[in-house]
Amino acid sequence: MEKRRLGKSGLEVSAIGLGCMGMSWSYGPPKDKQEMIGLLQAAVERGITFFDTAEVYGPLTNEELVGEALAPFRGEVAIATKFGWAPNPGDGSRWSALNSRPEHIKQVAEASLRRLRVEALDLFYQHRVDLNVPIEDVAGAVKDLIREGKVKHFGLSEAGAQTIRRAHVVQPVTALQSEYSLFWRQPEQEILPLLEELGIGFVPFSPLGKGFLTGKITAETKFDSSDFRSSIPRFSEENRKANQALVDVVTAFAERKKATPAQIALAWVLAKKPWIVPIPGTTKLERLEENLGAQRVELTPEDLSAIESASSEIKLEGARYPEFHQKLVGR
């Protein structure tokens, strides 16, 4: 497994990480705990050293799962987790309230340390920008945790360019995590140049377009009510039908390269910059192995140009988030 360094930081991880959210939350009902422990450990055996979770996944249960599964590999793997959400007052079952107040960040860190069974959090992201708390205060709180040895690296998720700059002045940002794939290329406009300028790594989530770029999802696919794609405009039946043209482009390149569409989509992300580390999620060993096979797909500059030229001609339909979540990105 190739290793990559996230920006100018000292955080070196496997070139492909593993997003763990879907094991507990958002992509249908929670999966069997023992099966997921087996999958996480199989990922380590295959060279993955970078795992992504968050307190809100579950909530809380995904961190517990990851902590238990990876306990035998302390010092060999890096676990990223996130703060910034809290239960709604009066409705503790729904975590749709933002809270990045410094005292809350420190409480979350202590709880995450216990659930993940670690002495320090390798990478601690602000999950979404909280406009009620100056980003300088957020960065300062994480800086304190780094001084105390409880956190090693600071990250942001789905933050806008000015927020990244302001945070970076107070505490260097190791990585930005945001959505990025052939299905969502907006970060190329402003974010990627900024990250390169500041020496910040990029961790794309949903590099397979929430599964769409694998070719396994069609207009006829039915999503469970607990699968959040059922509420995403881009995944409406009508929009899936329109967006199939992009999958057809990726599939054509896959046939040419004797690879799968998922491998082409991941190889494209990997080829964009050497400081990009995608974190595709899966709950199946065969998909994990398929994703890792993307490292063996060589895309030349001509290949990249051809893929981007063909995909740019397709008008993708539908927003990538429901209205509430859309308001929380790029701030």
The H-assigned helical ranges of 201-260 are 237-257
Active-site positions read 57
In what helix (H) or strand (E) does residue 198 lie, and over which residues does it extend?
A: helix 191-198
Which long-range contacts does 67-70 make (Cβ < 8 Å, 24+ apart)? 67/115, 67/116, 67/117, 67/118, 68/37, 68/117, 69/36, 69/37, 69/40, 69/41, 70/40, 70/41, 70/44, 70/116
Do 174 and 154 meet the contact criterion of CB atoms below 8 Å apart?
yes
Q: Quote the radius of gyration of the chain (alpha carbons, Å).
A: 19
CB-CB neighbours of 59 under 10 Å: 18
* DSSP SS3 for 28: coil
Do 69 and 53 meet the contact criterion of CB atoms below 8 Å apart?
no
Cβ-in-10-Å burial (0-12, 13-18, 19+) of 46 comes to middle
Q: What CA dihedral angle connects 100, 106, 107 and 111, to 10 degrees?
A: 110
Half-sphere exposure of 92 (CA within 13 A, CB side): 1
In what helix (H) or strand (E) does residue 154 lie, and over which residues does it extend?
A: strand 154-157
**Vertex 127: Cα angle to 123 and 129 (nearest 5):** 125
Is the alpha carbon torsion for 174, 83, 320, 262 positive or negative? positive
Half-sphere exposure of 269 (CA within 13 A, CB side): 35
